Structure 1
Amino acid sequence: MEHLCKSKVKATRVRVNKEQDRFNNHTSNNKFKSIPEKSKKSVFLAFDAIKKNNPESMADFAKEWIDATIVTGLRPSEWEKMTIKGNMSDFYYSENESEVLRMVVQNAKFSGNSGRIHGKTRTLIMNRLSQADIMTILAFHNKLQDLIGQFGSFEKVAKSTTNVLLSANKKALALSSKYITLYSARHQFVSNRKANG
């Protein structure tokens, strides 16, 4: 009887360890290349549960990060030094070029010798977006700046966000072979653009 109990405990540990390895193994094979709507809803519901148990968690912010990235396509690290320029009181004001609402992004993969990126920065014109999408970007950007001030660095904010996203994945997608990352949202942006021509 004791032997059977030990065997069950050992089997449970192996199963749990495999589960941990699946979520901690950060290979591209385990990550969604785009975000299925059903999986996104499940993960966002898991965020709500996490927030209910821990109001101070980064769950709401993680949702905002995913949504803002689906709209913009920024790589996770590119949010750190992204700046917004132009007229923020009238999103669609464009009489003067300097007033056009835009995001200036430092390309994360820029390398002078690689030829992969055309320049150190790229500019994304925001007045081509819906008002709802613009508000999503502005709200996330403002919250990010506040959190960087509180945490002391972008890296700490990103790590906390990634940790809560990992927890949500474990709750929502325990039986799935793939999970959602912040980078998955960038892939979803690309998929949306292809679908919309």
Structure 2
Amino acid sequence: MRPDQPTQTQATQSFYLRIVARLERHATRLVETGEMAVIDDRNVRIAIAYRDLEPTITAASARLYRAAVRHAITHEPGIRDWDAEALIDPEPCAAESARLDELAQQRKVNLVTLRGAQQKAKWLPMAEWARLTAALEASHNPWARAAQQWIVATLIAGLRPCEWRRAKVVGTSLVVVNAKATNGRSHSETRTIGLARCVKEDRALVASFAAWVSQLDDQGYKAAYDGVRDLIRLTARTTFPGRDRHPSLYTARHSFAARAKATHSREGVAALMGHASTLTAGRNYAHSRHARGGRPLDAEPSPADIAAVLRARDANRLLPGLKDAP
């Protein structure tokens, strides 16, 4: 029997449904070209489609695709689910080891250009952030001011884009509802980011931006996020021509993480980032070397959040087989 699945947000479930829809379209193409026989069982069909696409997607994307197929199996089980699971998660053996070696070689050949998230920079020096925000202002785009404030607020406080919707300033602190709390990847439901050491103008900008985002409804937030994201993407490509990787809203969070790692302890960084594990920032975010020699981060973690990180770390140590989630 499969273990209970971790709680997933509605956004995660929607994301999985989009992946499954892509796999179903790919399965249809395989049938139309004669590369796959007609298969009535939906879960086996999408699992075969995944295996066909596997050499053309990165290892990180493949993990998401497998999670989407597992989600489909859990929520719409079929009579051949053992076959589907065997396709996406084969038992370790010599043949599977050889297949994985061949898969790695195929990816080297197929993934010769950067795609999707690979095109996003993990670090941008503060001087280049200033160039980008100046270019945004010069664009006179309706979303230019929102894009500037979103970038600067994230450089100050490090929030994920979606977390601004329920963030609010209380005194000289920013209280944030952690986006990944529902599936155990955050140290607690909320985190408190101390802004007392920030200059008055930075605190005012964070408070103003958080208040603006919080008053948007779902449709308004989607329009704002899409408009800001697209404007940053286009402006970055004209501001920094010839680069393979360009900054995005999430790059600002990476830059925050690098400065946090150069300023605070690993437990403090996890508390500021909303991570349950002290390993996540070091493994998945920009390296602290980028920020060394620059201005230390003004934002400070709360003692309560650091204590929550330590409790999560100690709990993980009691479970030897448990891996830290990204």
TM-score calculated relative to the size of structure 1: 0.67
3-state secondary structure, aligned to 2:136: helix
Partner of 1:59: 144
- AA aligned to 2:138 is A
- Residue 65 of structure 1 contacts residue 182 of structure 1 at CA under 8 Å; is this kept in 2? yes
8 Å CA contact retained: 2:166, 2:214: no
Aligned to 2:116, the other structure's residue is in SS state coil
Q: What's the counterpart of residue 181 of structure 1? A: 248
Task: Check the 8 A contact 1:68/1:137 in 2, yes or no.
Answer: yes
* Alpha-carbon shift at residue 49 of structure 1 (Å): 2.8
Deviation, structure 1 residue 75: 0.7
Q: Counterparts of 1:73-112 in structure 2 under 5 Å?
A: 73-86=158-171, 101-112=172-183
Measured after TM superposition, the shift of residue 73 of structure 1 is 0.7
Instruction: Work out whether residues 42 and 173 of structure 1, in 8 Å CA contact, stay in contact via their aligned partners in 2.
Output: no
What are the ranges of 5 or more consecutive residues in structure 1 without an aligned counterpart?
A: 1-21, 87-100
Q: Do structure 1's residue 193 and structure 2's residue 260 form an aligned pair?
A: yes
Within a 5 Å distance, the mapping from 1:135-150 to structure 2 comes to 135-145=204-214, 148=216
- 3-state DSSP class of the match of 2:192? strand
CA contact (8 A) 2:167 2:214 kept: no
Cα drift, residue 30 of structure 1: 1.8
Identity across the alignment (%): 26
Q: Mind listing any 5+ residue stretches in structure 2 that lack a counterpart?
A: 1-112, 265-326
Letter in 1 for 2:134: L
For the Cα contact (< 8 Å) 1:85–1:102, is it kept in 2?
A: yes
In the TM superposition, residue 74 of structure 1 has moved relative to its aligned partner by: 0.6
Deviation, 1:176, is: 0.9
Alpha carbons 1:126, 1:134 under 8 Å: kept: yes
CA contact 2:177–2:191 (8 Å) conserved in 1:
yes
Task: Please tell me whether Structure 1 or Structure 2 has the larger radius of gyration of its CA atoms.
Answer: 2
Distance 1:108 1:32, change over 3 A: same
1:94-138 deviations in whole A, cap 9, x for unaligned?
A: xxxxxxx322211111134x3x21211112233243323212211
Give 1:1-80 correspondences, 5 Å limit. Answer: 25-27=115-117, 29-51=118-140, 54=141, 57-80=142-165
| TM score, norm. by length of structure 2 | 0.42
Query: Matched residue pairs, number?
Result: 152
Q: CA deviation at 1:65?
A: 0.6
Is 1:118 the counterpart of 2:187? The answer is yes
- Tell me the amino acid that sits aligned with residue 180 of structure 1: P
Instruction: State the SS of the aligned residue for 2:245.
Output: coil
